[in-house]
Chains A and B, each alone.
Chain A
Amino acid sequence: MSSKSRWANEDDPETEAILAQRKREKEEKRRAKAEKQRQLEEQQQQQQQQQQQHQQSTSNYTDAPPPSKRRRLSNDHSPSHQPQPSKPNPDRPEENNHLLALPTSEWGPCRHVDNFERLNHIEEGSYGFVSRARNITTGEIVALKKLKLEPNSPEGFPVTGLREIQTLFESRHQNIIELREVVMGTKMDEVYLVMPFLEHDLKTLLDDMREPFLPSETKTLLLQIISGLDFLHGQWIMHRDLKTSNLLLNNRGEIKIADFGMARYFGDPPPPKLTQLVVTLWYRSPELLLGADKYGPEIDMWSIGCIFGELLGKEPLLQGKNEVDQVSKIFALTGPPTSQTWPDFRSLPNAKSLRLPPSSSPATTPATPPLLPRGKFPYLTNEGLRLLSSLLALNPTSRPSAKQCLAHPYFREDPRPKPKEMFPTFPSKAGQEKRRRRETPEAPKRGQEAPKLDFASVFGGAPAAGDGAEAGAGFTLRLG
C-alpha cells in the first residue's frame, strides 16, 4: 500500500483539508464577486435613471428612445460604467451568453484645418497635395492630404474623393493607412484628410538604397502589403493604384497601403462599365491595357507582382513608355499569350490589332502560366519564382488571390521573413529634406477617354529590346 501515490489518496485527511480550504476560498471569492456585480448593477440602474430624467428634462420629446444599453459614450459616466465583460453569474445562468458588440462609431461635423499647423510639403500626388503638419492641441505629427477639387465640377463633390474617404474610413487594418478624420477649410472646396505621418515611401527608399532589400526583408514587406490587400479585397474594395510610391513605411518596419484616390467597391458579378484607365502604367495589368471594362481584384494582384519584382531588383520591373510599349515589355518578360494560357484574351477590345508571332510550341504549352525566365531573377528561390510568375500571369483568372499568396510556401521557406522589430531604419526624406523626384508616370486622370490603342507594332516594327537604358528619361504618357 505504501507504493500508492500520496496524491491519489482521496481519504488522506490532509488533502481533504486543503481541498476544503480551497473550496471555501473559492466560494468566498464568488460571493464577493456576486456582491460586487450586484452593487455595480444598482449603480448602473441609478445612473441610467438619472440620465433618463436628465434627458426628459432637457427635451420633452418623449418618443426619443433611451440610449442603447451597450453604448456609454458621454464623458460624464464613470469608468466603472463600461459594459462588463460577461462574467459567469451563478444566479442567472441564462445571461452567460456572450453577445458580440458590433464596432460602433459616431459622426460629427468636420473640424477646421486651423487645428493643424502645417510644417512642410511632402509631395504632390495626382489627387492632392500632402504636407506634414502638427495637431496643435495634441502636438502629434500627421500627414495632411488636400483633395484636389474642381470648384464648379458638374457632378458636385468628385466621386473619387468620396470613394477615397469612404473606403479609407472602412479599412481599419494595421497595413492600411488610417484616416483619422476629414477637416475642411473656410471654403467648401478645401477638404483635407488627416492621416498618421510615416517616414518613408517605398519608392524613395528604394531609389536611395545601394542594395535591394535582403530576401528576409523582402518577405516581411511583401507579407504586410498582401495582408493589407487581403483585408481590402475582403471588404469588397479594389485599390486600383498599387505602386511602390503608394506604400508607406515607418521606422518600425511597418508598411501601410496609402492613396485610395482610385479605390472603389466591387461586387460579384462585377459592376458594369468600370473605367479601364486605372493603375499607373508600369503597374497596370494586361487585361486593362487590352481594354477590359469588366475586371476584378486580380488587377491589384498584377500590381503586387510588379512590386515584388521591384523589391527584388530595386528598379521598376516593367517601365513602358506608353501603353503599347508597356504591352510589349510585358510580353517580352512573360512570353506572348496563347489560347491555352489565356483563352479569353482575343475578345478584349484592344486585342484585335495585336498580331502575335507564330507560336513556337502550341501543343506543349501547359494551361498553368509558365515560369518567368530564371535569368531575370538570379537570386530568387524556386518558390519565389513560382509566386512571382503566378502573380504576373497574363490571364487574370490564373493569378492567386491575396489569401492564397499569404499561404504560399515562399513565405515559409528559409530565409524566414525578418521580424518587424529587426527591420533596418533609414533617414527620412519626407521628414525635412526636399525629395528628389524621379520621372514616373502618374496615375491616370479620371474622366479621360480611354485611348484606342493600336498594338500592331508590339511584335512587329519596334522590337521590345533595350529597356533600362532609356528608363526614366524624358518620359511622356502618350494617349490616343
Chain B
Amino acid sequence: MATPASSGLKFLSNALATPEQLSTSSSSIDGVTPDLEASIRFAGALLTQAAGVLLRLSQDIIAQAIVTFTRFWIGAEGGSLRIYNVKDVSAASLYLTAKLSFQPTSPRSVLNVYGFLLSKQASPLWCINPDPYLESSSSSSTSSEHPPPNPETYILTEGEYQTRRAVLMRTEAIVLRTLGFNTHVALPHTISLTYLQTLGVAAPGVARRVFGHLNAALLSPQLLYVTHQPNALAVAAIYLAAREEGVKLVGSEWWEVFDVDREELGFLVVAMRSMEGFAERELRVWKGKGVPMTVEEVEEEIERRRKGVEEEVNGG
C-alpha cells in the first residue's frame, strides 16, 4: 500500500485516527459530553507525564505512553470513560510503553508512583489534589502552613499492591486488544532536531521552544499526535518556535521540503498556539475540585451536571 519511496519510512510514521474514529467516541456514545471528555483526557495525559517523570523515564517513553493513552479513547470501538478508569489506562499505557523500551520499569514502581500521584492529600497535581492553594504552597513563605503530606495517605500496602497489580495487568491486556496491538509510536522530537540542523538553525533557544511545543501538543484537545504525522508536527513546532524566538528561517516555502503543505502547517500552528489558553482554562475550571479519574467520579460529575441543568430549568 505504501509507495516504494516511503516503504522504509514506516518507523517514522504513525497510525492515524480515521475520520469515523474522530467523529464519535465510545465515551460520547455513553453520554459523556465532549468537553468533559476533553478535560478528563487532558488530566489523564498530565497524570501520565507526571508519573513518567517520577519514574525517571525518558521523555520519549512518556510521550509514546501519552499517545497510546490518547489512542485508547478514540472511536466508537475505543475505551469508554464510563467503563475504564482513566488512572488505570494511564498506568497501563506507561507500564506497557516502558516495557518495550530500553528502560523497562517494574509494576511495583509504577503502582507506588500512581498511589502517590492519585492521593487527594499528597498529590502535587492540581487536577487531582483539590487543595486550592496547591500552587502557592511551593513558595517558602507559606510552606509552614502546608506541612508535607502524611505518607500514610499514599503508601501502598502489600494487599493493595496485589489487587492493583492484577488491575494493571488486566488493563494492559485491554489496551493491547483495543489498539489491535498497534504499539508503535513515532515521535517528532528527533525529527525536529534533524530538520533544525538542515535549516541551519543553531540557536538553542529555538530547539528548547520546539520541544516545549511538541510536549505541549501531546496534551492537545485536538489530538494532534493521532491526526498528524510526526514530520508535520516537527515542522509546525519549528515554524512557531522560530517566530517566537525571532529567528529568521529561509525565505522560501521550506516546509514543503519536509513534505508538509501550507494548509496542514497553518492548522497545526494555530492548534499549537491555542494550547496555552486551553490549559489555563482547564486550570480555572477544575482547580479546587479535581478532575474525575475513575468511573465513579465520572458518574458523579455527570450526575452533578444533570442536577445543575435541572435546577437551572426549575429556577428559570
Contacts and interface: CB of A to CB of B under 8 A. Distances in A.
Interface of A: 51, 55, 58-61, 63-69, 71, 73-74, 94, 97, 99-110, 153-157, 159, 162-163, 165-166, 169-170, 172, 181-182, 184, 188-189, 231, 234-236, 265, 267, 271
Interface in B15-37: 15-24, 28, 34-35
Contact of B7 (A59, A103, A182): A103
20 contacts: A55-B23, A61-B38, A101-B6, A102-B12, A103-B2, A103-B3, A103-B9, A105-B15, A106-B16, A107-B180, A109-B177, A157-B172, A162-B183, A163-B100, A166-B181, A169-B184, A170-B11, A170-B184, A182-B180, A236-B11
Q: Is the interface of A mostly helix, strand, loop or mixed?
A: loop
Contacts of B221: 63
Contact of A108 (B3, B5, B77, B256): B77
Nearest to B270: A65
Given A106-B15, A157-B173, 12 more contacts: A55-B22, A55-B23, A66-B267, A101-B259, A102-B13, A107-B179, A107-B180, A156-B107, A162-B183, A165-B183, A169-B181, A236-B11
B7 A172 contact: yes
A105 B199 CA distance: 29
Given A65-B271, A67-B22, A169 B13 contact: no
Contacts of B5: 100
Interface in B71-104: 71, 75, 77, 95-96, 99-100, 102, 104
Contacts of A63: 34, 38, 221-222
The range of chain B's interface size is 35 or more
B34 A110 contact: no
Interface string B222-233: 111001110100
Interface of B: 1-3, 5-24, 28, 34-35, 38, 71, 75, 77, 95-96, 99-100, 102, 104, 107, 168-170, 172-174, 176-184, 221-224, 227-229, 231, 253, 256, 259-261, 263-264, 267, 271
A382 to B, nearest CB: 34
Contacts, number: 167
A69 B16 CA distance: 13
- List the 9 closest A-B pairs by CB distance, nearest first: A103-B2, A61-B34, A102-B13, A107-B182, A156-B169, A67-B19, A182-B181, A271-B102, A105-B15
A316 to B, nearest CB: 33
Contact of B99 (A101, A159, A184): A159
A240 to B, nearest CB: 16
Contact of B259 (A99, A106, A182): A99
Given A55-B19, A99-B261, A155 B178 contact: no
Given A63-B38, A110-B180, A157-B176, A68 B6 contact: no
Contact of A156 (B20, B35, B95): B95
Contacts of B16: 68, 71, 104-106
User: Residue among A55, A67, A181 with the most chain B CB within 10 A?
Assistant: A67
